[in-house]
Amino acid sequence: MTTFPTARNVRTTPEGLVWEPGERWVRGRKGEVTVVDRRHPVLVWEPDVPVPLYAFPRDEVCQDLLRPAKNPPTGTHTGSRIFYDLVADGELSENAAWTFPADDLSGHIAFEWFSRVGRGLDRWYEEEEEIFIHPRDPHKRVDALASSRHVTVEIDGTVVADTHRPVLLFETGLPTRYYIPREDVRLDLFKPTDHSTGCPYKGTAAYWSWSGGAEVPPNVVWTYPRPLPAVGAIRDLLAFYNEAVDITVDGDRLDRPTTVFSAHTAAGRTLPRPPTPSAS
């Protein structure tokens, strides 16, 4: 009889790393070359980094593709001192892999994600589904639920959206986002931008900026034209950063939340990709 734990099987190292065994079949590729293939990888959280990485036993990694790094970085990845350059598919990727200093993880190798830092492995799969940016945290949720709440959005006193058919997106660690049909948004008051972000839970977002005179940060509105299947209900709907606009739900005006975006909204800067599970 199999007994499943009721609590997370989490371990902590003296260096401040948090890790636990994973259950997903994970493959990482560079171009057309499979660099790692593992049924039970380890998920590792570094101090002050809320998203995890995968680490793999050495014998599950194509070590003949790795070379000792010529220019290893310092002060990265929790004091790691051993870095590797990756040579795969005819391309050199510097400092693409490393080992953690923790004794618990000394037999494991971790890899950078190209879509997150611009180097490392560029294609990742969990089971048969391609994933992006970073591993999805098994202890976080993203739920998109159709609703009949009355939601309005105002910018500088102008109502820019009014709907009774929003989709509410609940995501661990972020405020509720209200996705609104385009027909219920004054999209003529905004202009599309070339900004985009990627989210491992939702997909790739496109953005619009406010074209009025109020001090509103760029890229305050976004949409997912091709969301991942788990949140397909938000396809082509529009959402606003709660931190930068005034949202009223069923007659109650919401407080503007304080999040990683808040300093950027106050300064009128482009809203960043957050160090949380998702981009928006």
Are 18 and 127 found together in one domain? yes
DSSP for 256-271, written as a single string: PP-STTHHHHHHTPPP
pTM: 0.81
Res 4 pLDDT > 80: no
How many structural domains compose the chain? Answer: 2
Is residue 276, in this structure, part of any structural domain at all? no
Is 259 within a domain?
yes
Q: Do 122 and 193 lie in a common domain? A: no
| Residue % of the chain over a pLDDT of 70 | 90
What single DSSP character describes residue 155?
E
Above 60 in pLDDT, residue 23?
yes
Is residue 74 included in any domain, yes or no? yes
Answer yes or no: do 162 and 83 share one domain: no
Q: Do 21 and 117 belong to one domain?
A: yes
The answer to whether residue 2 is domain-embedded is no
The residue to which tokens 């618990």 are assigned = 104
Residues 92 and 158 in one domain: no
Is 94 a member of any domain? yes
How many helices and strands (H and E) does the chain possess?
Answer: 2, 23
- To which residue do tokens 């000792």 refer? 68
- CA-nearest of 102, 53, 42 to 78 is 102
49-83 in b/e burial notation, b at 16+ Cβ within 10 A?
eebbbbbbeeebbeeebbeebeebeeeebbebeeb
pLDDT digits (tens, 9 = 90+) for 172-209: 988 999 999 999 999 999 999 999 998 999 999 999 99
Q: Find the farthest-apart pair of alpha carbons in the chain and give their distance in angstroms, rounded.
A: 66
Look at strands 53-57 and 151-155 and give their pairing.
unpaired
- The rounded percent of the chain whose pLDDT value lies above 90 is 71
Res 8 pLDDT > 70: no
Note whether residue 88 is domain-resident.
Answer: yes
Mean pLDDT lowest among 106-120, 158-172, 235-249 = 106-120
Please report which confidence band the pLDDT of residue 159 belongs to, taking 50, 70 and 90 as the band edges.
very high
Neighbours of 176 (CB within 10 A): 15
102 and 189 housed in the same domain: no
Is residue 242 included in any domain, yes or no? yes
Do residues 45 and 107 both lie within one domain?
yes
**3 state SS for 170-209:** EECCCCCEEEECHHHECHHHEEEEEEEEEECCCEEEEEEE
- Report pLDDT for 95: 96
Residues 127 and 196 in one domain: no
Domain boundary among 110, 131, 152: 131
> What's the domain range around 119?
11-131
Same domain? For 120 and 65 the reply is yes
Find the CATH number of the domain harbouring 86. 2.170.150.40
- Residue 203 domain flag: yes
Q: Is 118 helix (H, G, I), strand (E, B) or coil?
A: coil
Q: How far apart are CA 227 and CA 230, in angstroms?
A: 8
Q: H or E element: which one contains 117?
A: helix 114-117
Residues 180 and 127 in one domain: no
Query: Do 117 and 44 fall within a single domain?
Result: yes
pLDDT in tens, 45-81: 999 888 899 999 998 999 999 999 999 998 889 888 8
- Cα separation, 280 vs 108, in Å, equals 32
Task: Encode pLDDT of 176-186 as tens digits.
Answer: 999 999 999 99
Closest C-alpha among 217, 212, 151 to residue 184: 151
Q: Which of 30-44, 133-147, 199-213, 252-266 has the lowest mean pLDDT?
A: 252-266
pLDDT tens column, 128-152: 999 989 999 988 999 999 999 999 9
Q: Quick: pLDDT tens for 208-242.
A: 999 988 889 999 999 999 999 999 999 999 999 99
Q: What is the pLDDT of residue 118?
A: 87
CB 224 within 8 A of CB 230: no
The residue-averaged pLDDT of 9-13 equals 89
Domain closes at, from 82, 104, 131? 131
Query: Where does a domain end: 103, 131, 159?
Result: 131
The reply to whether 75 and 161 lie within a common domain is: no
